[in-house]
């Protein structure tokens, strides 16, 4: 392959493709209900190396921290609010060239559990949006934790133990509030024990290549689809992650292609050695914090408005109120500056 063009486009024997830099924030492995964060964010952007390096230099010049490596929390400090607003603003260096895929972790758990056991995305939304109101904070928390443990590959006891806990929790909640739409979903879940037993029994043969609860892998597939929507293939450049083994990268590439995404490949880099990935890291951490604040009712309207154009409309988000505030309009695609097209 030949070198970078100004907008990140490359070309060679395989034809032109757009190179997209990516990073994530909020990864807690499979512990999605009791980890350190309640939002996962995967950021991606089409920047040339020179543009990204200039943005990193500008941030360092404005913040003037002695830290060797800057992270999102440098920009999120109140004393650096102006720098944060500059980065996200329409006149800033990444506007129109970056997107972020968000996942509300507790909804991701419910969506995956209902998807595995019932194959009904609509039922997941009914259960999630009515669960806390119907069963109370303690009851709903018990369900989320039981569902997380059921799907989680690693457990502290016997592989089949989470099955009993999950269905005992489902039965307790069904008896407590019968006759509601939410309980109707639990009634259906109560009939799926055999499927859950089969799912857990498969772990005896070894951990699966693709853990059901890992948010990073489907986020990368979605990123490929998002940026190749105009028909031009993309190559993703991603910060190194232990999860991104060669076998899983092969799965990502195959899954993306089967979904119609034009993914030309995925290569891993050290973030501090690629300014584009550094800027993606900034955006991922910033987006995770702004989205988490909005989810928990302490959002900053100005920052939420600045983030909104970057948010992928296909983000995995169940809370209706915060989704309405965070969501970018459907069909709003990232752009590559016209001057960069060759």
Q: Report the SS3 class of residue 12.
A: coil
Unique residue bearing structure tokens 């309640």? 38
Burial of 328 (0-12, 13-18, 19+ CB in 10 A): middle
Distance, in Å, from the CA atom of 109 to the CA atom of 107, rounded to the nearest integer, reads 5
Distance, in Å, from the CA atom of 23 to the CA atom of 120, rounded to the nearest integer, reads 30
Pick from 169, 236, 176: nearest CA to 196 = 169
Mean pLDDT of 289-308: 97
Candidate ranges 155-159, 239-243, 307-311; pick with highest mean pLDDT: 307-311
Tokens (6 digits) for 176: 């407590």
Distance, in Å, from the CA atom of 110 to the CA atom of 103, rounded to the nearest integer, reads 12
pLDDT at residue 105, as a whole number: 98
CA atoms lying within 13 Å on the CB side of residue 82? 5
Distance, in Å, from the CA atom of 154 to the CA atom of 170, rounded to the nearest integer, reads 21
Distance, in Å, from the CA atom of 324 to the CA atom of 321, rounded to the nearest integer, reads 5
pLDDT digits (tens, 9 = 90+) for 98-135: 999 999 999 999 999 999 999 999 999 999 999 999 99
Q: Report the SS3 class of residue 293.
A: helix
- Range list of H helices, the chain: 49-63, 72-76, 81-88, 105-117, 121-151, 161-176, 181-189, 193-201, 216-227, 246-258, 275-295, 301-307, 320-326
Cβ neighbors of 264 (< 8 A, separation 6 or more) are 14, 17, 233, 234, 235
pLDDT digits (tens, 9 = 90+) for 186-220: 999 999 999 999 999 998 888 899 999 999 999 99
pLDDT at residue 10, as a whole number: 44
pLDDT digits (tens, 9 = 90+) for 29-56: 899 998 889 999 999 999 999 999 999 9
∠ CA 46-235-14, rounded to 5°: 125
DSSP class of residue 311 equals B
CB 233 within 8 A of CB 262: yes
Rg of the Cα atoms in the chain: 21
Q: Would you put residue 227 in left (φ > 0), alpha (ψ -120 to 50) or beta?
A: alpha
Query: What predicted TM-score, i.e. pTM, was given to this entire model?
Result: 0.90
Confidence of residue 2 (pLDDT cuts 50, 70, 90): very low
What share of the chain in percent tops pLDDT 90? 79
Burial of 64 (0-12, 13-18, 19+ CB in 10 A): exposed
pLDDT at residue 283, as a whole number: 98
Distance, in Å, from the CA atom of 312 to the CA atom of 320, rounded to the nearest integer, reads 15
């Amino acid at each position: 392959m030949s070198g970078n063009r100004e907008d990140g486009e490359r070309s060679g024997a395989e034809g032109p493709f757009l190179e997209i830099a990516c990073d994530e924030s909020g990864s807690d492995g499979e512990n999605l209900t009791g980890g350190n964060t309640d939002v996962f964010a995967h950021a991606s952007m089409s920047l040339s190396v020179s543009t990204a390096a200039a943005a990193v230099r500008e941030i360092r010049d404005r913040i003037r921290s002695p830290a060797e490596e800057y992270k999102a929390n440098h920009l999120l400090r109140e004393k650096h609010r102006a720098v944060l607003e500059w980065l996200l603003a329409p006149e800033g260096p990444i506007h129109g060239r970056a997107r972020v895929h968000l996942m509300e972790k507790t909804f991701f758990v419910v969506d995956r559990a209902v998807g595995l056991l019932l194959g009904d995305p609509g039922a997941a939304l009914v259960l999630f949006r009515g669960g806390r109101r119907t069963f109370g904070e303690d009851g709903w928390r018990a369900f989320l934790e039981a569902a997380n443990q059921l799907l989680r590959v690693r457990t502290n006891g016997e592989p089949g133990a989470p099955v009993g806990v999950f269905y005992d929790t489902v039965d307790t909640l069904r008896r407590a509030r019968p006759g509601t739409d939410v309980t109707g979903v639990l009634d259906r879940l109560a009939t799926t024990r055999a499927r859950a037993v089969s799912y857990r029994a498969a772990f005896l043969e070894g951990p699966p290549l693709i853990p059901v609860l890992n948010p990073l892998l489907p986020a990368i597939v979605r990123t490929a689809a998002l940026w190749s929507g105009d028909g031009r293939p993309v190559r993703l450049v991603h910060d190194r992650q232990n999860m991104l083994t060669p076998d899983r990268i092969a799965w990502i590439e195959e899954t993306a292609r089967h979904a119609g995404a034009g993914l030309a490949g995925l290569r891993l880099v050290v973030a501090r050695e690629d300014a584009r990935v550094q800027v993606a890291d900034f955006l991922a951490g910033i987006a995770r914090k702004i989205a988490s604040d909005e989810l928990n009712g302490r959002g900053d309207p100005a920052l939420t408005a600045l983030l909104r154009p970057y948010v992928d409309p296909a983000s995995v988000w169940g809370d209706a109120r915060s989704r309405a505030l965070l969501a970018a309009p459907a069909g709003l695609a990232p752009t590559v500056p016209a001057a960069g097209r060759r």
